[in-house]
Structure 1
Amino acid sequence: MPAHNTITPEKLARLIALPGSPRIVDLRDSPTEAIPGSQSFASKDPIDWDLPRGASVVAVDLDGQGRAASAAAILRSEGIPAEVLEGGFAAWTAAGLPTVSFAHLPKRHKDGRTWWVTRSRPKVDRIACPWLIRRFVDRDARFLFVAPAEVLTVAVQQQAEPFDLDDERVFWSHHAELCTFDVMVGAFGLGAHVPLVRLAAIVRGADTDRLDVAPEAAGLLAISLGLSRIHSDDHAQLEAGMAVYDALYRWCRDAQGEKHDWTSHRPARGNMPA
């Protein structure tokens, strides 16, 4: 049983990449890989952290014996629910749980966020990729949507990372049979996370008009095209699309074996009331 005010790696793993998941604050110095969705602050003093109202926190250090306990205690004194990851990052990796690599992470702006820019009027990849970044890499990432001809100009002017653009100078784009989402999953070191591999096949099929790649690809394409017609504002469409990918990720993680039809959720006949 975990100690008071701690959370086990296995329990935290069930919460990552989901809406409403706790803020995971990594207190290690200059990590090159981390728990998906975690963030670091320049200051190690929790009083300096700009946390949104209502946030809960999981503090992570190397082995659960360092800064995390005091940071969580200070947060709790401020009325912020806070726990320590039992065993720290070392226990997380020892359990074989997924990590995200920062080898290809763009430089952060002064606001602490990564900035990204892509073509306006997104459909599949340009919604799927922001979802991946916000859920696994940088939950506060900023996305700019501009006309295709303006993407590289805005990238330079605003120091924003371009993605999903048909230009050989852009790293985050289609490579051979892979779509941009595939490239991000691999480059961020998430290629062994089975639910994301399943989701990547669905995204690839929908984004490249190869609907035979995954049975769900046709449904994702239909929903994506419908969202693009409902929303004239790209950011409103992104927010609506986040829920779609949250649901698909959860299905890929937990619900592939579940069936549903007219009778699948009826109680057994022996349990029916007389």
Structure 2
Amino acid sequence: MGNAPFSSFSILPQDLAARIGTPGAPLLLDVRRPPRFAESTHLLAGAQHCTPEGLARLAASAPPCEAVAYCVYGHAVSQEAAAMLRQAGWNARFLAGGFEGGEPGADTPEDLARWRAVRPLAVRKRTDLGVDGSTASRWVTRARPRIDRVACPWLVRRFIDPRAEFFYVEAAQVLAEAQRLGAVAFDAPNAPITHDGPWCSFDALLAAFELQADPALAALARIVRAADTDAVQAPQAAGLLAVSLGLSQLHAGRDLAMLSAAMPVYDALYAWCRLEVQGVQERQGWTPEAVRA
């Protein structure tokens, strides 16, 4: 089935790609049927899996919002999912071309080329960690965060699992609490996501979920690494460190409050990194002549 009947309710891959990882990203629903979802090693960054049969329950249990549904090729499954959500009052669209960017032989060569020119960022499913988009994940790390233990949760919530829950505990309790809570331990000795030589936990998290393909995230990683380890030089790192230390003072003893306060900081840094990698270099300068004019 092609896209024509629902074309006015589609979103192009490049338009979705521009919004992934931003605070205004739509709810992204992977509606591939269970066999196709299970055989795939990846899902789109920030997506959650919802079977077509589970959409009615989702629509009834959550307030209507902007959503994008995608299936394998962007044909019947995601189109019908978006239509059902719209009937429930949601602002819902489907991803043109789906996860694969269209189906050769069913979609035109022109559409295939257009849909595959710029693809939305995908994330590797880590079933070994219990993070594969099928359920909300849990994460646990050391208390009193500053850089890495804030940057990593930001990365998880924006690109890996927006539903993720975080716990900050004393260092000696991290691994035991991870086991008790069914959570992923990070930025702690012997945790699956932690420092490795000069690389910080943010780097390890990028690698674990194969997010290095995003050049803006790679640029942000350099800033985080410089601020967290002082192993590399990045002029922006001093500012990130200063803001992080200030937030830790403002929210002393309230780690989750610090995380909430720091999320816009990383949103802004990521937005700046996207401009930088696109070659847009804005510089601030004082020009009295222009002001007087």
After TM superposition, the score normalised by the length of structure 2 is 0.84
Percent identity, please: 40
- 8 Å contact kept, 1:16–1:37: yes
CA–CA separation in structure 2 for the residues paired with 1:265 and 1:14: 37
Structure 1 unmatched runs, 5+: none
Distance 1:54 1:17 in 2: 21
Q: 1:115 to 1:69 in 2, by over 3 A?
A: same
Which amino acid in 2 is paired with 1:198?
A
Q: Is the 8 A contact 1:104 1:187 kept in 2?
A: no
- Which of 207, 212, 217 is the aligned partner of 1:191? 212
**1:57 corresponds to which of 64, 67, 90:** 67
Aligned residues: 265
Task: Tell me which residue corresponds to 1:25.
Answer: 29
Name the CA distance, whole Å, in 2 between partners of 1:37 and 1:61: 15
2:148 corresponds to: 125
Indicate the residue corresponding to 2:106 in structure 1: none
Q: Distance in 2 between matches of 1:94 and 1:5?
A: 19
Larger mean CA deviation between 9-18 and 39-48 belongs to 39-48
Matches within 5 A, 1:70-81: 70-81=80-91
Residue 45 (1) aligns with residue 54 (2): yes
User: What secondary structure sits across from 2:99 in the alignment?
Assistant: helix
Q: 1:116 aligns with which of 139, 148, 161?
A: 139
Distance 1:99 1:264 in 2: 47
Alpha-carbon distance, 1:112 to partner: 2.2
- Distance in 1 between residues matched to 2:158 and 2:267, nearest whole Å: 9
Tell me if the contact between 2:17 and 2:118 (Cα under 8 Å) persists in the aligned partners: no
Aligned counterpart in structure 1 of residue 248 of structure 2, from 211, 222, 228: 228
Tell me the residue number matched to 1:94: 116
Shift of 1:54: 4.7
1:106 touches 1:114 (CA, 8 Å); kept in 2?
A: no
- CA RMSD of the aligned region, Å? 2.5
For residues 130-171 of structure 1, what are the alpha-carbon distances to aligned partners after superposition, in whole Å with 9 as ceiling and x for unaligned? Answer: 000110010010101001111111111111111000x2x322
SS at the partner of 1:21?
A: coil
Report the TM-score, using the length of structure 1 for normalisation: 0.89
- The C-alpha deviation readout for 1:89-144, integer Å capped at 9, x for no partner, is 112883353211113662169x9211110001100000000000110010010101
The CA distance in 2 between the partners of 1:61 and 1:160, in whole Å, is: 28
CA distance in 2, matches of 1:95, 1:45: 32
Give the alignment partner of residue 237 of structure 1, picking from 258, 264, 289.
Answer: 258
Kept in 1: contact 2:186–2:192 (CA 8 A): yes
Could you say if the C-alpha distance between residues 11 and 264 of structure 1 is closer, same or farther in structure 2, counting changes exceeding 3 Å? farther
2:184·2:192 contact (CA, 8 Å) conserved in 1? no
Q: Given residue 181 of structure 1, which amino acid in structure 2 is its aligned partner?
A: F
Contact map agreement 1:8 1:86 (CA 8 A) in 2: yes
1:237 deviation in Å? 0.5
